[in-house]
Amino acid sequence: MTKVAIYARVSTGEQAERQTIQAQLHDCRAFAAQKGWEVVGEFPDDGVSGTVPFHEREQGAALLAVLEARAADTILINYADRLARDQLEGVMAYNRLQKLAAVELVSGSFDDSPEGKFTLQVLLSVVECVRV
């Protein structure tokens, strides 16, 4: 059975008040259940800017430790912009995670093809420019 670790992030108090982190976790849990995957951990970074390097976030670092221990083989994230609001940091985080486990997105997906990498970079460029 696929063992999944869920990562979620919100950066502002307003997002936290709207419970967007709970919505992300809910969507990821439902996606995992639909696939028949076992959720082995949830890593919500609440109130952490997407410009902070992934490995410097409390839950990002905890997730990396779980992956390095091989306790999960798939990472589930609701949207790519939960990785970062900075193109370079987002690509670096995605590549680092992908070296440790499969990365699955509830909304959208990117593979190792040149087209997949390009699409991820374009999306991260857009979210870097349009900060909400």
Residue 15 predicted with pLDDT over 70 = no
Query: In this structure, is the dihedral angle defined by the CA atoms of residues 59, 8, 69 and 109, taken in order, positive or negative?
Result: negative
Mean per-residue pLDDT of the chain = 87
The CATH number, out of the four listed (3.30.420.270, 3.50.50.60, 3.20.20.140, 3.40.50.1390), of the domain defined by the range 3-129: 3.40.50.1390
pLDDT band at 11 (very low <50, low <70, confident <90, very high): confident
What whole-number distance in Å separates Cα of residue 102 and Cα of residue 111? 10
75 phi and psi, to 5 degrees? -110, 135
What whole-number distance in Å separates Cα of residue 103 and Cα of residue 18? 26
**Which helix (H) or strand (E) is 74 found in, with range?**
strand 74-77
Residue 34 predicted with pLDDT over 90 = yes
pLDDT at 89: 86
**Which helix (H) or strand (E) is 127 found in, with range?**
helix 114-129
The string of pLDDT tens digits covering residues 36-69 is: 999 999 999 998 988 899 999 999 999 999 999 9
Q: How many CA atoms lie within 13 A of 130 on its CB side?
A: 7
